Amino acid sequence: MDTNLLSNYVLKAIDAYPYDLEETVENLNYALSYESDNAYALYLMGRLQAEQLGDYEKAKHYFAEALASKMDFAKVYPKYILVLIWNHDFDEAQKLIDFATTVRSIQKGELMVLQAQLFECQGAYKKALKTFKKSKLFVYNNSFISFIDSEITRVKNKIKPKKKKTSKKKKKNKKKSKKNNKND
């Protein structure tokens, strides 16, 4: 197989995703027919299945195949972990996070954000907050830091929901209605 032709199909699929899904699928199918274990084509097919079609089981399959083909393909790990979280495969997501931290060239801050989101999905809000705050130390992008700050605010709101203020008149009316009900 001519490597240039394979690369052209993969590059065309990358260029078309997510704006032209038909062209993306066509080029990915050509690429995978030439080389069924092409890590980037498998990764992109996994993203397509998860993000566009919502088929998390197929996405998990494609991501696993991509990692089997190339274990140090750092782009796969965050998307794969996110799909595992979306699919409520929390134990599997935790194992993958733990393994991904050993991969060179992986963004530790992004993994920590995913760890915090996993904690949040499991209801461990304080652990999630602590992990979000710690993740800010490992990122180098101001917009990503702003995203983390918004996530921290969102989780804090889950911990302490805002109380509705009731007016004094409503409180007095409730007390009067309780007294009237007792007297009846």
DSSP labels, the chain:
--HHHHHHHHHHHHHHTTT-HHHHHHHHHHHHHH-TT-HHHHHHHHHIIIIIS--HHHHHHHHHHHHHH-TT-TTHHHHHHHHHHHTT-HHHHHHHHHHHTTSTT--HHHHHHHHHHHHHHTT-HHHHHHHHHHHGGG---HHHHHHHHHHHHHHHHHHSPPPPP--HHHHHHHHHHHHHHHH-
Distance CA 46, CA 61 (A): 8
pLDDT of residue 112: 97
| pLDDT bracket for residue 44 (50, 70, 90) | very high
- The mean pLDDT value of the chain amounts to 90
Name every residue whose Cβ is closer than 8 Å to that of residue 67 and which is 6 or more positions away in sequence: 39, 73, 76, 77, 80
Query: Quick one: average pLDDT of 133-162?
Result: 91
Distances (CA, A) of 122 to 1, 57, 94, 116, 119: 47, 20, 11, 10, 5
76, two tokens: 């796969």
> For residue 98, what are its two tokens?
């733990």
Residue 1 has pLDDT above 60, yes or no: no
Distance of CA 156 to the CA centre of its chain: 19
Where b means 16+ CB within 10 Å and e means fewer, 75-99 reads: bbbbbbbbbbbeeebeeebbebbee
Whether the predicted pLDDT of 184 surpasses 60? no
Question: pLDDT tens digits for 47-94?
Answer: 999 999 999 999 999 999 999 999 999 999 999 999 999 999 999 999
Predicted pLDDT at 4: 84
pTM score above 0.75: yes
Domains of the chain: 3-183 (1.25.40.10)
Confidence of residue 169 (pLDDT cuts 50, 70, 90): low
